Amino acid sequence: MSAVIRTTGLSAGYGGSAVLHKLDLEVGAGEVVSLLGPNGAGKTTTLLAISGILPPLAGKVEVLGEPVSASEPHVNARRGLAHVPEDRALFFSLTVRENIRLGQRSGGPSFEQLMEYFPALANRVSQRSGLLSGGEQQMLALARALAGGPRALMIDEMSLGLAPVIVENLLPVVRRIAREQAVGVLLVEQHVHLALGISDRGYVLRQGELIAEGTAAELQESRQLLEAGYLGELAV
């Protein structure tokens, strides 16, 4: 498998103290990989370290086979790494079309192709993004990230603040995008079972330690996780 994202012994944290410990993680082209764990487990920290925003305290990160150096998130973006943060980072005063244009690069999917993934946006192209519903804003954040034609896509808490039915509709689109655009997706998600339902594999963090990894089917059935009451701490 050719990895689009790989961490080896990655430790990261804040003010010099690690909250993520020695993580080995891999995402292949066209794969959807869930990164799961309760609040404070270190999921967002992992994504920040992969994107180069947060310098690793130990270990290394590779994106598209190249080492990531800290403080150079723009270099990773150029290489083909897209990051949809928790707050979605949209320009609320700009329209749907303008937000997407900001993400577009040559070689990426066309505007029409993006609208096909998110038909709800197609009727709103001239609307300011601040006026969209939460679900539509999330679609726009995904569409803008895809507009750059990424090879790797990290999505942090896509479903935050969204009704479960919206999440159920959006996750299969993520799966379809991974397949059709050959993008490796690293998905941080509180809806564990829904996320595993569209994932190939997953990793489970707790207090910065990797406590389980495996295929989505293995994790869905993991007695170890169920007995620890672990999955019960999360929305299903």
Chain contacts with ligand ADP (rule: CB under 6 A): 14, 19, 37, 39-45
Q: Residues 60, 9: contact at Cβ < 8 Å?
A: yes
Residue 124 CA to residue 69 CA, distance in Å, equals: 39
Widest pairwise Cα distance in the chain: 50
Sign of CA pseudo-dihedral 172, 149, 71, 24:
positive
Between 43 and 88, CB nearer to Mg ion? 43
Task: State the binding partner of 14 from Mg ion, ligand ADP, none, CB within 5 to 8 A by kind.
Answer: ligand ADP
Binding to Mg ion (CB under 5 A) within 24-43 occurs at 43
Task: State the binding partner of 222 from ligand ADP, Mg ion, none, CB within 5 to 8 A by kind.
Answer: none
Between 29 and 235, CB nearer to Mg ion? 235
In the complex, the smallest distance separating the C-beta of residue 157 from Mg ion, rounded to whole angstroms, is 6
Between 181 and 199, CB nearer to Mg ion? 199
Angle between helices 96-103 and 134-147 (to 10 degrees): 30
Between 19 and 94, CB nearer to ligand ADP? 19
Helix boundaries (H) for the chain: 43-51, 73-79, 96-103, 111-117, 119-122, 134-147, 164-181, 192-198, 216-220, 223-227
Task: State the binding partner of 40 from ligand ADP, Mg ion, none, CB within 5 to 8 A by kind.
Answer: ligand ADP
Residue selected from 44, 137, 138, 159 as contacting Mg ion according to rule CB under 5 A: 44
What count of other Cβ atoms lies within 10 Å of the Cβ of residue 9? Answer: 12
Interface residues with Mg ion (CB under 5 A)?
43-44
